Amino acid sequence: MSILRKIEHFREEEERLKWEGTFADYLNLLKEKPWIAQTAHSRVYNMIKDAGVEEANGKKEYQFFKDQLFGVNEALEKLVEEYFHSAAKRLDVRKRILLLMGPVSGGKSTLVTMLKRGLEQYSRTDKGAVYAIKGCPMHEDPLHLIPNHLRNEFYEEYGIKVEGNLSPLNMMRLEEEYSGRIEDVIVERIFFSEDKRTGIGTFSPSDPKSQDIADLTGSIDFSTIAEYGSESDPRAYRFDGELNKANRGMMEFQEMLKCDEKFLWHLLSLTQEGNFKAGRFALISADELIVAHTNESEYRSFIANKKNEALHSRIIVMKVPYNLKVSEEERIYQKMIQESDLSHVHIAPHALKVAAIFTILTRLQQPKKQGIDLLKKMRLYDGENVEGFNSQDVEELKQEYPDEGMSGIDPRYVINRISSAIIRKQLTSINALDVLRSIKEGLNEHASITKEDRERYMDFIAVARKEYDTIAKKEVQKAFVYSYDESAKTLMDNYLDNVEAYCNQNKLRDPLTGEEMTPDEKLMRSIEEQIGISENAKKAFREEILIRISAYARKGKKFDYNSHERLREAIQKKLFADLKDIVKITTSTKTPDESQLKKINEVIARLVDEHGYNSVSANELLRYVGSLLNR
C-alpha cells in the first residue's frame, strides 16, 4: 500500500470512528458500553493491561513497554500495580502527582512519551473511546450534566460514579443554547492528540519572571470583554491552559521541581480535590493524570525546602533506575543505534555486549554477601547460572542496596563514544576493542565524573577487556572446531565408549589388537576438566551422561554431538586446546601456506555465515585471538 493510500485509509478510519448524538443517545450508549465512562487513571491502566501481561516466576512483564524500555521490569511492575492499578480503583493514590525519579538517560522521558502516544492510539479503540460535550474547550465529561441530587440514583441504575461539576462555560451554554434541557446537549467522540492539544498536555517551565500562570490555567480574552461586558463571563475566558487541554487524559509536567512555587500551588487543589481555580469563576473540575520527572539531587533539594511541605504529601515518587542486566543493556544500544544514522555501520558481535559489561559494572554496588564479587553479581542479575548461587541469592543481593542503579554511566555516553569512534576514524566496521578504546578516551573528557570514579571505571574497562578476551577465544574456538567437525565427533564417541565401560565396570576391546583395556581415565579427565568437573564429581557426571543416552534410546532418538550442552562445550574446549598450536600458526603467520590459508578462509567463512561478522571484523578477530594465544 503506497503512503498516499495509507493516509487516505487513515482518514477513512477517522471518519468511521466519529460519533455524535444527544446526551440521551450517550446514556443509551452507556447501557451498552459502561466502560466508556472510565476515569483518566483507569484509562491509562486499562491501556497498559489490554496490551498484554506475561507472568513468569511471580513477576509481571507488560507488553506495552516491551520494545522500548529494557531491564526495568521491576520498576514498571511497581508503577503499574502500586500507582495505576490502585488509581484505577479510585483509591487515594489517584489524588497524587506521579513523580518519576531517576538518573539521566534512564528512560523517564521515554516512559512518559510512551504513555502519551499510547493514549492517542488507545482513544481510537473501542475500549479506550472517550466522549465529551461538543464545543467544550476542556473536552468535559458529559456526565457532569447530571445534577448532584440525581447522581446517587444514576449510580444505582448505571453502576457509574459521577465526580466533578459542570464548568462555568458549559453551565452557561446549557441555559442559553439548550434552555436547560440536558438531554438535548450534543455529545461527540474525541480522539486524544498532543499536537491538537486534545486530552494530552505538556508544560515546561521557563524564566519565572516571564512565564505566566495562564500557561497552566488559561486567561481572559480582553478583546471579548466589550462584547460580553464582564471579565467574569465564561465566554470572555480562554480555557486553553495545559490543565484545561489535558483534561480527561494526562499532562506531562517537565522539570516540575524547577518550577516557580506559584505554578505548583494550583496542583494542590487539582490533586486532592480534582479541581483548580481559574479567573473569576468557581472551581473548575478536571480529571487528568499529572506525570512529572526529575533526578535524585533535585528531588532531595525539593524536600529539604520547608515551603514545599504541602506538596510533599501530594506526590508519589516512583524510582526509574538504570537497567542492571547486560543483555538488556545491549538491547538499549541496539535500539539507539537503529534510531540513529549509524545503522549502516557494521558492529561486530559482542562489541555492544562488552560495552554493556563495562556500563553495568559502573552501576553495581560492591556486594556484601560472601563469595560474590561484582562479576558474579553481574552474571546473576543477568539470569546466568553461577555455581553455588540461586534465585534467592539474587533477591538478597537486590535488597542490600535499595538505591542500586541510580548512578553510573548512562547509555547515551556509550552511544556517543561509539559515534565518536566511527566518525573520527571514518570506520565502516567497529569491534569491541574500538568501543572500549573510545569509552576509555572519553572518561577524561566527562565533566561529571570524579577522579575517584574515573580510576574505578578504568579498572572496569580492564575487566570488560578480559571478558572480551574469553569471548573472542570461544568464538574462534567454535569456528575452528566446526572446521574439525569429524574430529569432534570421533573424540566424543571415544569418550562415550570409555564412560559406558567405566559406569558398567566393563573392559574395552582394542579395535586393532583385540586385547582388553581398562577405561582411559586420562582421556575422560582431560575432557571433563575443561568444564570444571572435579575428581569427586566425575562419577555423577558420567552417570548423568549414561542416563541421558538411555533416555534418548527409549525415545528412539540418537544421542549425538548436540544432545548434551555441557559435554559439547567440554569436547569443543578439549579439541581447541589440542588445536591451539594450529590456531597460533594459522592466525599469526604473515605468509601462510596453502593448507593454512584454506583453513583460515574456512574459519572466516564460518564466522561470517553463522556468527554475524563481516570479512573485516572476522579477520580482526582472528588476528587478535592469534596475538592472545602467542603471549
What is the per-residue pLDDT across 132-172, written as a single tens digit (0 to 9) for each?
999 999 999 999 999 999 999 999 999 999 999 999 999 99
36 and 134 inside one domain: yes
Residue range 574-586: average pLDDT? 70
> Binning pLDDT at 50, 70 and 90, where does residue 126 land?
very high
Return the HEC string of 223-277. HHHHHHCCCCCHHHEECCCHHHHCCCCEEEEECHHHCCHHHHHHHHHHHHHCEEC
What CA–CA distance (Å, rounded) separates 411 from 185?
52
Handedness of CA 109, 110, 113, 114 (dihedral sign): negative
Per-residue pLDDT, 56: 80
Range of the domain at 419: 326-469
Whether 35 is in a domain gets the answer: yes
CA distance 181 to 24: 10
Strands 97-101 and 289-294, by their bridges, are parallel
- pLDDT classification of 392: cutoffs 50, 70, 90: confident
Q: Answer whether residue 255 shows pLDDT above 90.
A: no
* CA-to-CA dists, residue 16 to 10, 124, 141, 482, 602, angstroms: 10, 10, 22, 59, 60
Same-domain check for residues 337 and 307: no
DSSP assignment letter at 558: P
Q: How many domains does the chain have?
A: 3
Same-domain pairing of 518 and 556: yes
Give 492-513 pLDDT, tens digit per residue.
Answer: 888 898 999 999 888 888 776 7
Do both 122 and 198 map to the same domain? yes
Amino acid letter for position 87? A
Q: How confident is the model at residue 566 (pLDDT cuts 50, 70, 90)?
A: confident
CA-wise closest residue to 169 among 214, 242, 218? 218
Residue 614: inside a domain: no
Of the residues 469, 499, 533, the one at which a domain ends: 469
Q: Is the domain of 312 the same as that of 332? A: no
245 and 379 share one domain: no
Residue 208 has pLDDT above 70, yes or no: no
CATH number for the domain spanning 276: value is 3.40.50.300
Q: Domain check: are 148 and 248 in the same one?
A: yes
pLDDT-based confidence at residue 44 (cuts at 50, 70, 90): very high
Work out the average pLDDT over 368-375. 88
Mean pLDDT, residues 4-24 taken together: 91
Domain identity same for 427 and 526: no
Residue 612 lies in a domain: no
pLDDT reading at 196 higher than 90: yes
The answer to whether position 185 is within a domain reads: yes
User: Is pLDDT of 116 > 90?
Assistant: yes
Distant-in-sequence, close-in-space partners of 542: CB < 8 Å, separation ≥ 6:
499, 502, 503, 524
| 209 and 330 housed in the same domain | no
The CA-based angle 145-147-150, given to 5 degrees, is 125
Residue 510: closest CA among 327, 369, 501: 501
pLDDT of residue 591: 62
Question: Could you tell me the pTM of the whole model?
Answer: 0.82
Q: Is the pLDDT of residue 193 over 90?
A: yes
pLDDT of residue 197: 92
Q: Determine, yes or no, domain membership for 286.
A: yes
Indicate the DSSP class of residue 300. Answer: H
pLDDT digits (tens, 9 = 90+) for 406-416: 999 999 999 98
Best CA proximity match to 464, nearest among 364, 396, 388: 364
Going by pLDDT thresholds of 50, 70 and 90, the confidence category of residue 123 is very high
Q: Confidence class of residue 474 from pLDDT cuts 50, 70 and 90?
A: confident
Backbone φ and ψ for 278, nearest 5 degrees, come out as: -140, 125
Please name the residues in contact with 537: beta carbons below 8 A apart, sequence gap of 6 or more.
none
Average pLDDT over the chain reads: 87
Given a cut of 80, whether residue 57 has pLDDT beyond it is: no
CA angle (151 as vertex; 150, 152 as ends), nearest 5: 95
Are 67 and 24 spatial neighbours (Cβ–Cβ below 8 Å)?
no
Residue with cell 554431538: 561
Alpha helices, H only, 290-410: 296-304, 309-312, 326-338, 351-363, 374-381, 391-400
pLDDT in tens, 312-343: 888 899 999 999 999 999 999 999 888 877 77
> What confidence score (pLDDT) does residue 507 get?
86
Amino acid at 100: L
Q: Is the pLDDT of residue 601 over 70?
A: yes
Q: Note whether 87 and 204 are same-domain residues.
A: yes
DSSP 569-596: HHHHHHHHHHHHHHHHHHHH-SS--HHH
Question: Which of 72-76, 231-235, 428-432, 537-541 is predicted least confidently?
Answer: 231-235
Domain termination site, one of 319, 350, 379? 319
Residue type for 54, please? E
- pLDDT number for residue 581: 67
| pLDDT tens string 268-303 | 778 778 888 877 788 888 999 999 988 888 888 888
* CA nearest to 201, candidates 242, 239, 241: 242
The reply to whether 577 falls in a domain is: no
Same domain, 304 and 364: no
SS3 190: strand
Compute the distance between CA of residue 488 and CA of residue 576 in angstroms, rounded to an integer.
Answer: 10
Residue 429: beta bridge partners?
346
Q: Which helix (H) or strand (E) holds 202?
A: strand 200-203
Residue 462 lies inside a defined structural domain of this protein: yes
Question: Is residue 98 predicted with pLDDT exceeding 70?
Answer: yes
Q: Between the CA atoms of 553, 559, 563 and 569, what dihedral angle is there, to the nearest 10 degrees?
A: 140
Evaluate whether 330 touches 353 at the Cβ level (below 8 Å).
yes
Q: Is the pLDDT of residue 199 over 90?
A: yes
Could you tell me if residue 508 is inside a domain?
yes
Same domain, 69 and 168: yes
Tell me which of 319, 334, 351 is where a domain ends.
Answer: 319
Q: Is 193 helix (H, G, I), strand (E, B) or coil?
A: strand
